């Protein structure tokens, strides 16, 4: 069984603050993939990042950064100098690689709503 926990239901910050969204996952597989998606108020789901379980290097993309720690089964997402346009629901997701069949499903966390006020 796999599970993704995003304990923070809602976070409110003021523009320019840094904010970290937590994601903790559970899996028995040694090969798996972690994802973050953004869902702005308009409703679409926007892909942000995909990470495999063998790559623990932190990732930085502009104001976004991700910290992957297998020891704590966490894949946290930090937005530096937040902006109003960052207001959205952010989903963490997990996909296992089933070696025999390649069959896998994407399990989403419940999401964290980030509100950035001016």
In the bound state with another protein, the residue whose beta carbon lies nearer, of 62 and 102, is 102
DSSP secondary-structure letter at 82?
-
Q: Give 44's DSSP letter.
A: -
**Minimum CB distance to another protein smaller for 68 or for 109:** 109
Please identify, using beta-carbon distances, which residue of 24 and 97 lies nearer to another protein. Answer: 97
Binding mask 59-98 for another protein (x = CB under 8 A): --------------------------------x---xxx-
CB 14 within 8 A of CB 114: no
25 touches another protein (CB under 8 A): no
Judged on CB neighbours under 10 Å (0-12, 13-18, 19+), 105 is: exposed
């Amino acid at each position: 069984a796999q599970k993704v926990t995003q304990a923070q239901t809602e976070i409110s910050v003021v523009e320019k603050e840094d904010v970290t969204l937590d994601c903790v996952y559970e899996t028995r597989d040694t090969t798996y993939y972690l994802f973050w998606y953004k869902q702005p108020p308009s409703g679409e789901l926007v892909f942000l990042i995909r990470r495999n379980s063998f790559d623990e290097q932190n990732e930085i993309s502009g104001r976004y950064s991700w910290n992957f720690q297998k020891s704590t089964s966490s894949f946290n997402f930090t937005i530096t100098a937040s902006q109003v346009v960052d207001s959205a629901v952010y989903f963490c997701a997990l996909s296992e690689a089933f070696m025999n069949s390649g069959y896998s499903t994407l399990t989403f966390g419940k999401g964290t709503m980030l509100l950035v006020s001016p």
